[in-house]
Amino acid sequence: MRIDIATLFPEMCERVLSESIIGRARQRGYIELACHQIRDYTTNRQKQVDDYPYGGGPGMVMQAQPIYDCCVDVVRQVEEAGHARPHVVFMTAAGTPLTEEKCKQLAQKDSLLLVCGHYEGIDERVIEALADEEISIGDYVLTGGELAALVVADSVCRLCPGVLSSPEGYEEESHYSGLLEYPQYSRPEEWNGRRVPEILLSGHHANIAKWRHEQALERTRTRRPDLYEKYEEKSMAKIDK
Ligand code: SAM
């Protein structure tokens, strides 16, 4: 998997993606990530990337030309490096909400290009010209697309082979199966008067798995009835088959 990010703040993205699990996975060659400065593709002396919105209104809008030229150049670089044409995703507050299902779909792609907006957003015409899809990371507005692109890159990369030490690393986690994860505990057995549930100390793997599944069901039912309903529907559909 290769992910490229087109942004006005490549250093910010690069810094985050060099740390911890993702940083190690890059060093070991399981994933490739590259960040690109949109401003390098301006054609004016001031390297200005934004202008006033047609129709008036507050703030500035990112112009189509530098984003277009940046993306075309990144696509060329990616293809020359032997990858498929990247799946182009614009980060927008009006995009399809990001879910674990969407992350699984994106993790199947050979390469992704994530485009970050800023200011009041991006000239719609370049989105129409280039986007395979628009993704939102939630129903709120960020000051820029960088945090959103980092969320997508992180959540997709961890599903790629080799990034986590074993697939169980994510298969049991919240949202993968449609449920929230069961509660987790570590040493000591008692902390501040609170004991680890006895079942987890029993060494009986089948009973532990059963307890964890029940906990996951109960958590999902009480905290996220919307997810619980979907999970139940899916389970019923499987039984009917
Ligand atoms: N005027 C835009 C609107 O009302 O939808 C918001 C623009 S926002 C201040 C600037 C940039 O941040 C956007 O172009 C987008 O790239 C990014 N952004 C903001 N919220 C986002 C979200 N929830 N998901 C993904 N990207 C977001």
pTM: 0.96
Q: What is the residue with the minimal CA distance to atom 12 of ligand 1?
A: 144
| pLDDT at residue 241 greater than cutoff 90 | no
Mean pLDDT of the chain: 97
What is the best residue among 141, 152, 155 to mutate for testing ligand 1's pocket, by most ligand atoms within 8 Å of CB?
A: 141
**What is the Å distance from ligand 1's center to 152 Cα?**
14
User: Annotation-wise, does 50 bind a ligand?
Assistant: no
Q: CA-CA distance, 42 to 47, in Å (whole number)? A: 5
Report pLDDT digits (tens) over 171-212. Answer: 888 899 999 999 999 999 999 999 999 999 999 999 999 999
9, 143 in Cβ contact below 8 A? Answer: no
User: Annotation-wise, does 139 bind a ligand?
Assistant: yes
Query: What dihedral angle (degrees, nearest 10) is formed by the CA atoms of 26, 37, 136, 60?
Result: 160
pLDDT at 172: 81
Report pLDDT digits (tens) over 127-141. Answer: 999 999 999 999 999
What is the best residue among 5, 63, 92 to mutate for testing ligand 1's pocket, by most ligand atoms within 8 Å of CB?
A: 92
| pLDDT at residue 167 greater than cutoff 80 | no
Residue 30: CB atoms within 10 A of its CB come to: 16
The top-level CATH class assigned to 2-157 is alpha beta
User: Annotation-wise, does 51 bind a ligand?
Assistant: no
pLDDT at 170: 78
Q: Tell me whether 0.90 is exceeded by the ipTM.
A: yes
Q: Report residues whose beta carbon is within 6 angstroms of any ligand 1 atom.
A: 91-94, 116-118, 120-122, 136-138, 140-145, 148
* Stretch 231-241: mean pLDDT: 89
Domain edges within the chain: 2-157, 172-240
User: Annotation-wise, does 142 bind a ligand?
Assistant: yes
Query: Minimal CA–CA distance to 213: which of 223, 202, 221?
Result: 221
pLDDT at 171: 82
User: Annotation-wise, does 112 bind a ligand?
Assistant: no
* Stretch 72-79: mean pLDDT: 98
Q: Are strands 133-136 and 87-97 parallel, antiparallel or unpaired?
A: parallel
Q: Domain 172-240, what fold?
A: Trp Operon Repressor; Chain A (1.10.1270)
* Stretch 102-131: mean pLDDT: 98
Q: What is the residue with the minimal CA distance to atom 24 of ligand 1?
A: 136
Report pLDDT digits (tens) over 1-40. Answer: 999 999 999 999 999 999 999 999 999 999 999 999 999 9
Q: CA-CA distance, 79 to 99, in Å (whole number)? A: 28
